[in-house]
Amino acid sequence: MSALKCHGPHGDVMYSYDIACQWEINLRRRVADAKFPAHLKIELPVGRDLRFVIPKYHFWGHTGEDHNKYSLNLVPGVGRTDGEEVERNWWRHDATAASTREMGPGSRHDTLEDHFHWSNYTRLVGLGKLLGKRLKTAVLGFTLHDRLFNDFSSGIDGQYTEAWTEQVLAYEKDPSLPDPYHVESSGLTEREIKTQLAAQEDQDASEGRPSLHQVTPLNMLVELLDLEELQRRFHQKYPIVTKELMSLATDIFDRRAAIRRRTQTIREIQAIYMPPVAQLVAAELPVISANLKRKADERQKRSRTSTAASTGASPPARDVETTVPPEHVPLFLPSNISPEHLGSLSPRLRAMESDLREGQMRSALDKLRVHLHIKTRLVSFKARQVRHQRENMKAREQLETNDMKIKSFKEKYRAARAAKMRLDGPGSWEQEWRPLGDNDVRGLRDFDPLLTAENESLPRRQIVTEGGRSISWIWNGVGRRDDSSEAGNLGGMNEALRGEWLRARARPLRYKEEVTIVKEEQRRTVVTLNVEASEWDRRAALRETVCPLLQQGLAAYAAEQASLLRGLGNNFQQAWQRVKHIDIPTADDEGRETELDSGSMLYGFAGDESEDEGAAATGALSEYE
């Protein structure tokens, strides 16, 4: 508020605050309150002249569909500002504050002042390198993301992109409109389907059609699906269980005990709702046991052969489990029962499982997209920030953990789709729920050159080039495509693709604004240094009453400071000249068609509006100052 007092009520003002979404609600009422400090009672700008944003590192702690209007990645005019400089500045002095805790008040004050002065000095003399690097990064960032955005847009029908552009431009002018960046989940999730089916069972009970057991059919199916998930996770963590492994991992016994206990409980309920299950279990277990024994014998034979080849001795024979481990016990959901045994089952059981499987597919795809996005972030962070062995090992562990989750959701989707195929057979639902191939499981930015650095060891023929890249259908929400649509002309476009396209559109715009902001910062830096140098020139003749020798010394000191500041400004300008030739083409350039001009309809501004947008971008300079 103190800074805004010097700004006045006119012009664009942007506040960044960790909880700006709550703070702005009653700001005007608090300022008008009689208890508010009188020196801070100011006239606040009205309308869109006063905007609020949340710093980038704090933004992801906020949820809700109305929060994108606070995102510094999406708000026009802010460039690449992150809003965290205040906390970053205090973070630099955390160690100093801790080391001076035992000092007296005066000593501590002087020590902290010294550190603050040194921080300000290093920031001042480092502006040349900092602003030069920011300008180069902004230009290269615009070039890269503008190309990626145009490639992304080339595969989408123009009628969709025009509609989305109009929608986001209206939203930027009036954030009270529906948020185009927000993506609602399509269809019912797994939890919502369970709630819906439970409500139907309650309605049946109230109408005199109670369940045959206190555990309803829905609860039985949900428990079976949970057991299926437990078995899948067990197989993922322990693909092969040997005697040696069991002696080391007590977790195996705990997991098996939990699966066995829950399986025995559910068998009693299945006997009521699904009578053929007992007969199927008795017939199936010996076959599974024989298969497991055969596989164990093959592994043992391979191990004996490899050991004998290397040492010349044969290993002792291993005992093979005679019982079927609980992770291999078939659960016999309705989708696993053969047609000849379906006559004794209620058709409603199959319909309920079909609905639950659809919810599983939707939830698995949603979580798969989330973890693919997380993987993109982790790989990007590792490529840019991680160095040395210890940090690389930590980063690899995080990536491996995330990859396990990706694999888990991929297998869950495939299992749910296979079950639905057995339940309903081929049909129109396949247009929405496509087969999920390994090549489909990739993020939106897997074609980023920085993110593909780890794949450089692949054979040349296996590397997907930029010209051959395509976006996976999983990013089309649920992957709908009209049968009549041609390649590259998507039909049934949903909100998920719109949200990703709009975010891809925002990235080059923010980099373009950053170029304008950094150039203005460079200009202001040189002007400020020259003004301060002139102030030192003025100070040289101020103290006329002192003795000539002291006056000569003061004048020399003032001249030295003025010379240093002017020299610093000249050095900055020379350093920046080396990147001045790197520029973003604008529509004002005559005699050539530019990238910006050719893409103006996609971005939503005409070429002759570039100066107005640049002026809007300079309004965010207070963040850097």
Give the pLDDT confidence of 392-414 residue by residue, as tens digits.
787 788 788 888 889 999 999 99
- Is residue 274 predicted with pLDDT exceeding 90? no
Beta pairing partners, 53: 16
539: burial class by Cβ within 10 Å (0-12, 13-18, 19+)? middle
Q: What is the mean pLDDT of residues 276-292?
A: 80
- Is residue 306 predicted with pLDDT exceeding 60? no
Helix (H) or strand (E) holding 51: strand 50-53
* Reported confidence tier of residue 451, pLDDT bands at 50, 70, 90: very low
Q: How far apart are CA 474 and CA 372, in angstroms?
A: 11
Q: What is the mean pLDDT of residues 238-267?
A: 77
Considering only 81-90, 175-184, 353-362, 610-619, which range has the smallest mean pLDDT?
610-619
Q: What is the mean pLDDT of residues 271-298?
A: 79
| For the chain, percent of residues with pLDDT exceeding 90 | 18
What pLDDT does 452 receive? 47
Q: How far apart are CA 81 and CA 68, in angstroms?
A: 16
What pLDDT does 374 receive? 72
Contact at 8 Å (CB) between 476 and 494? yes
* Reported confidence tier of residue 520, pLDDT bands at 50, 70, 90: very high
Comparing 468 with 346, which gets the higher pLDDT? 346
* Reported confidence tier of residue 245, pLDDT bands at 50, 70, 90: low
Q: What is the mean pLDDT of residues 555-584?
A: 85
What pLDDT does 410 receive? 92
Q: How far apart are CA 127 and CA 44, in angstroms?
A: 32
Torsion 150-154-155-161 (CA) sign: positive
| 399-407 long-range contacts, CB within 8 A, separation 24+ | 399/375, 402/371, 402/374, 402/375, 402/378, 403/375, 404/236, 405/367, 405/371, 406/368, 406/371, 406/372, 406/375, 406/441, 407/236
- Is residue 473 predicted with pLDDT exceeding 70? yes
Comparing 585 with 42, which gets the higher pLDDT? 42
- pLDDT, one tens digit per residue, over 362-394 is 888 888 887 887 777 677 667 766 677 777 787
Comparing 23 with 555, which gets the higher pLDDT? 555
Helix boundaries (H) for 238-346: 243-248, 250-273, 276-311
Helix then strand count (H, E) for the chain reads 22, 2
Beta pairing partners, 71: 54
What pLDDT does 378 receive? 73
DSSP states of 188-217: --HHHHHHHHHHHHHHHHHTT---SSSS-H
| For the chain, percent of residues with pLDDT exceeding 70 | 72
- Is residue 361 predicted with pLDDT exceeding 50? yes
Q: How far apart are CA 331 and CA 334, in angstroms?
A: 9
Three-point CA angle 453, 456, 457, nearest 5°: 135
Tokens of 101: 């805790």
What pLDDT does 275 receive? 84
* Reported confidence tier of residue 248, pLDDT bands at 50, 70, 90: low
Comparing 309 with 570, which gets the higher pLDDT? 570
Comparing CA positions, the residue from 232, 252, 231 lying closest to residue 242 is 252
Q: How far apart are CA 105 and CA 606, in angstroms?
A: 59
- Is residue 312 predicted with pLDDT exceeding 80? no
Q: Count other C-beta atoms under 10 Å from residue 283's C-beta.
A: 9
What pLDDT does 207 receive? 56
Report strand pairing: 13-16 vs 50-53. Answer: parallel
What pLDDT does 242 receive? 63
- Is residue 461 predicted with pLDDT exceeding 60? no
Comparing 164 with 384, which gets the higher pLDDT? 164
Give this prediction's pTM.
0.53
Considering only 73-87, 199-213, 474-488, 530-544, which range has the smallest mean pLDDT?
474-488
Kindly calculate the radius of gyration of the chain based on its CA atoms and give it in whole angstroms.
33
- The pLDDT mean for the chain works out to 75
Q: CA of 349: how far to CAs of 129, 274, 333, in Å? A: 69, 9, 9
What pLDDT does 610 receive? 35
Comparing 180 with 497, which gets the higher pLDDT? 180
Q: Count other C-beta atoms under 10 Å from residue 53's C-beta.
A: 24
Contact at 8 Å (CB) between 587 and 483? no
What pLDDT does 618 receive? 32
- Amino acid at the residue 121: Y
Q: What is the mean pLDDT of residues 336-340?
A: 81
What pLDDT does 513 receive? 93
